[in-house]
Chain A
Amino acid sequence: MSKKQKTPKQPKPYKKKLIKRRKPNRSIWGDIFLYLFLALAAIIMAFPIVFAIENALKPLDELYRFPPKFFAQNPTLDNFADLFVSMGKSWVTFPRYIFNTVFVTALGTAGHLIIASMGAFVLAKYDFPGGKLFFKIVTTAMLFNGTVLGIPQYVIMNKLNLIDSYWALIIPAIGGTLGFFLMKQFMEGLPMALIEAAKIDGANEWMVFSKIVMPNVKPAWLTLIIFSVQALWNNGGTQFIYSEEKKMLAFALNQVAAGSIARTGQQAAVNVVLMIVPIAIFILSQSQILETMASSGLKD
């Protein structure tokens, strides 16, 4: 007689929950109200951007139509095509402008990330004479409005022979204050025990910095990259650069857009083109930020 063998209960395969468990101390009405509010705000915030994109898709006659309509009736990509035709006419080729901007943006951002993080790391995690004072000077200097700094900066660049070269844009970007301040604020939250543990295991300062500290503040430096790319990408570079072939994309595009009424359509297209790259970088890094929070389990 075969005895029916009792099979042990199979463990359910692990499945990630689609939606995070609600926190226990949340009221349902509060959730509904707050998220309705958030949704409403999102619609208002998105509206002008959608409008800008819509405008770029409108043919010229619709841009000046009466009464005006928000949405394009016959959307076309003509404005973008016109823009590239206008760009093609300039004696400095379009790819050259793109190269200039990409080169300056990449080098400036990478340099700023490394050098500012190094400084921020020692300032946040070690107590040394002059450190606190230095940080105070940085935060105070951030408050000085940049408008009048153009002339002294020009004089300094001239003394250093940087005028009319890419370095005139790259080097000041590396020494920027925003990223430095951001990194320092983030690194402060890092537990000291982690650094000490690494040191006991025989890591030197550089290894602590590159292998322990930096991976743990990934959200911070991804944010820094966004700030830096955004600033450099929109920089026309006209202040310190004279040679046409060394000028930036933003300058070239705005030059096209500065044409009169016939260029209105292209102007709308310029707005969109200049927006696209920073937003793409932004989306990329945002998804990375969300990655990190899943993997870092490290806390004091």
Chain B
Amino acid sequence: MKEYLQKYVALRKHNFKVGVKKAKQRKMCYLFLAPYAILFFTFTILPVLTSIYYSFTYYNIFEPARWAGLENYINLILEDDVFITGLKNTLMIAIITGPLGYIASFLFAWLINELPRWIRTIAVIIFYAPSIAGTCYVIFSQLFRGDAYGYVNSYLIEWGIIDAPILWLINPDYMLWICMLVILWMSLGSGFLSFVAGLQGVDQSQYEAGYMDGVKNRWQELWYITLPGMKPMLLFGAIMTITSSFGVSDVCKVLCGYPSTDYAARTIVTHIWDYGFDRFEMGYASAVATILFLMMILCNKAIQSLLRRVGT
């Protein structure tokens, strides 16, 4: 045992020395990275760590934080029914809109890629416009208004499909589905755009080599050539999709009201907002955020291992 330890220590020492030497050789790398690293540390890492620390405290923003151990987490899981509703809704939204949005982003980017230039520009603009348009989704609250002035209701009544207006955004049966529809409409976002740019980086000569080697149809070409060539972009798109589909809140808040009927459109992020900025229980809100963070890390791990299998 002792011998083993000694060897281990020696190996560690050696590795460390090699590392230091390498680092000295690559001084310029650190120089290039330093400006970004400093900003990133100050404005992202430090706040994230502070928030995780707050999650173990009672902190109401006005008084200094008081250590509370696991109290927030215990309350969260055992006593907070609204959180469980929010968790359910968030998972539902993420499981339905996440994969659909991700696949649609890639599919559309891929189809658009083979179009002639000018059509392609127009197509990219049409598909990306919903995400670029900021708060344009507000328009859906007019489309789905609950009274007969709402466009959807008015047309459905005119066509005789329903005879009384449906409270799309107030009835808990419909709320979440309408939100998902809007989220799907907006889901061709940063992932889509990076796919569009990334598809142009795929080596054209590989396609030609593919014809020679007998790639028979577009689907084989997609699986064996395009997708493996796009791996870095696919990873980027996956992380973007995770952050957006788990982070849904504004759409639900704007369309279904805040708070929504029976909390039927409450998501985890809405819950964070509620506790953090309306009830000023920052410690509790941070605990919710930390749980969301852990969920997203797990999801990211799973997706990364799936993506590793692409093209094999």
What is the interface of chain A, defined by CB distance below 8 A to chain B? Answer: 18-20, 23-27, 30, 34-35, 37-38, 41-42, 45-46, 48-49, 51-52, 55, 64, 66-68, 70, 115-116, 118-119, 121-123, 126-131, 134, 137-153, 155-156, 160, 171-172, 174-175, 177-178, 180-182, 185-186, 188-189, 205, 209, 219-220, 222-223, 226-227, 230, 233-234, 250, 271, 274-275, 278-279, 282-283, 286-287, 289-290, 292-293, 299-300
Contacts and interface: CB of A to CB of B under 8 A. Distances in A.
B29 interface: yes
Contacts of B296: 143
Contact of B117 (A127, A186, A189, A290): A290
Nearest to A52: B139
Give me the 10 closest cross-chain CB pairs, A-B, nearest first: A175-B39, A119-B36, A185-B232, A152-B47, A152-B50, A219-B197, A128-B26, A122-B29, A143-B296, A149-B47
Interface stretch (B5-13, B66-74, B78-86, B126-134): B126-134
Interface centre among B19, B133, B149, B190 (most CB of A within 10 A): B133
B269 A49 contact: no
Interface string B235-252: 110011011001101000
A220 B236 CA distance: 12
7 contacts: A26-B218, A46-B129, A145-B269, A145-B289, A150-B276, A219-B198, A283-B121
Contacts of B310: none
Nearest to B36: A119
B297 A174 contact: no
A189 B200 CA distance: 11
A271 B38 CA distance: 37
A178 to B, nearest CB: 7
A67 B198 CA distance: 46
A299 B249 CA distance: 43
Contacts of A219: 197-198, 200-201
Contacts, number: 276
Contacts of A139: 239, 300
Interface of A is mostly: helix
B32 A25 contact: no
Contacts of B112: 38
Interface in B119-141: 120-121, 123-130, 132-140
B42 A175 contact: yes
Contact of A172 (B43, B108, B133, B142): B43
Contacts of A147: 249, 269, 272-273, 276, 285, 289
B273 A68 contact: no
Given A41-B108, A151-B54, 17 more contacts: A30-B218, A42-B127, A45-B188, A48-B130, A66-B148, A115-B35, A118-B33, A119-B32, A151-B276, A182-B236, A274-B134, A278-B133, A286-B125, A287-B121, A292-B200, A293-B200, A299-B205
B51 interface: yes
Name, among B19, B117, B193, B285, the residue most crowded by chain A CB atoms within 10 Å (CB to CB): B193
Interface residues of B, number: 105
A283 B233 CA distance: 22
A131 B29 contact: yes
Given A122-B33, A223-B197, A148 B116 contact: no
B306 interface: no
Contact of A38 (B51, B111, B201, B211): B111
A64 B143 CA distance: 12
Interface in B266-285: 269, 272-273, 276, 282, 285
A129 B114 CA distance: 41
A282 B123 CA distance: 13
B193 A38 contact: no
A299 to B, nearest CB: 5
B19 A129 contact: yes
B111 A118 contact: no
B44 A177 contact: yes
Contact of B293 (A67, A143, A177, A250): A143
